[in-house]
Amino acid sequence: MEIEIYADEIITPKDFNNCTRNFIGIGCLFVPVSKKQNILSSLINSRCLFESNGSWVWEPDQCPSSITNGGICKNQWHQQNMCEIHHTELRNSRSSNSQREISKKWLNYLIENNIRDRKEIYFNILFVDLDTLQIENFGTQKVHENIYNKFFRTVIHYGVKSFFGNKNVTIKKVFHDKGSMENHGYFPYLNLMKLDLDLGKYGLIEDKEIAFIDSDHRNYLRESNDLLEESHLIQLIDLLIGSITQNIYYLSDDRLKKELAMIVRPLVNRLLESPSNPNSSYNYYQRQHIGFFPKYSLENATYFLDTLSHEQFENYKKGNIYTNRKMEMPSYDPKQTNLSLW
């Protein structure tokens, strides 16, 4: 079985009370090559907000709904629908209608995919608690990047083993959103070499250089179409991480962020409470996972992360990655009238 992996992260965010929440969130989307075009078609076609049309074209004059072809879609509407979907930038007060509606359609696509058991969306998200990990043990230089580097392999390893453990898996390519890890000393080139050895019987990595990709697909439309479609998968994992994190850590009191979080909330709730339920109507077992590390405080983190052998460390992580955690964001009804308006 051939897969591609698309990764993104959230590092030491602040909540709406301007309090730093001390964690790193690492998310990977595992895309079976045989399902890739189905996923991309669903994401890209969601950009067309004319329900009667339902398919997207990159050039406005090629759209059957455009004014030039006898329709009513204006060029400026088409350009708005070309927007990048980036969870951090989504705000009720400043997001366009295109950003709102496309984000909702993408998250509803995830839920529909699960309920209809299409077996298209596989993801693993791990939150590393830096307070429990005792970050002071890691020195002062690029601390977050170094920790991220170590647990990035964990997220991929767990996903491959848990989602595709009974298949002969070949990881064709690993893509990562552009950011600080692009300039890390050995993350782009050596990390996957180490992971390839760790995977053993569970799979192999064909291309061991991580490709950093711009999540704004418009840049590829202007320069090169090589990664135009793939950038949508980076946008998708970004939206998933953001919406899931919002439920768990309640980082924002923004109405739009809460509304988006509520779309995935039933799935998040089940992943936290019953991650191993094979009979759930949401069909997430061995396809989607949310974990937290460590369960217990690490007083000597350097020893555990640097000194233990791979086998010892893997066994230690198994007992310290947990899923059962309450969501901090209260349930939200977007239709409920805000009393402050009265």
User: How much is the pLDDT for 23?
Assistant: 92
Which residues, given as ranges, of the chain have pLDDT below 50? Answer: 339-342
- What range defines the domain where residue 326 resides? 2-341
Quick one: which of 71, 83, 114 has its CA closest to 266?
Answer: 114
pLDDT digits 0-9 by tens, 132-154: 877 666 656 667 777 888 889 99
User: How much is the pLDDT for 302?
Assistant: 55
Q: Cα separation of 113 and 241, whole Å?
A: 17
Q: What is the DSSP string of 8-24?
A: EEEES-B-TTS-B--EE
pTM: 0.91
User: How much is the pLDDT for 57?
Assistant: 85
Q: Cα separation of 296 and 260, whole Å?
A: 32
Q: What is the DSSP string of 206-218?
A: S--SPEEE-S-TH
Decide the pairing of beta strands 2-11 and 169-177: parallel
Total domain count, the chain: 1
- The answer to whether residues 106 and 264 touch, using CB atoms and an 8 Å cutoff, is no
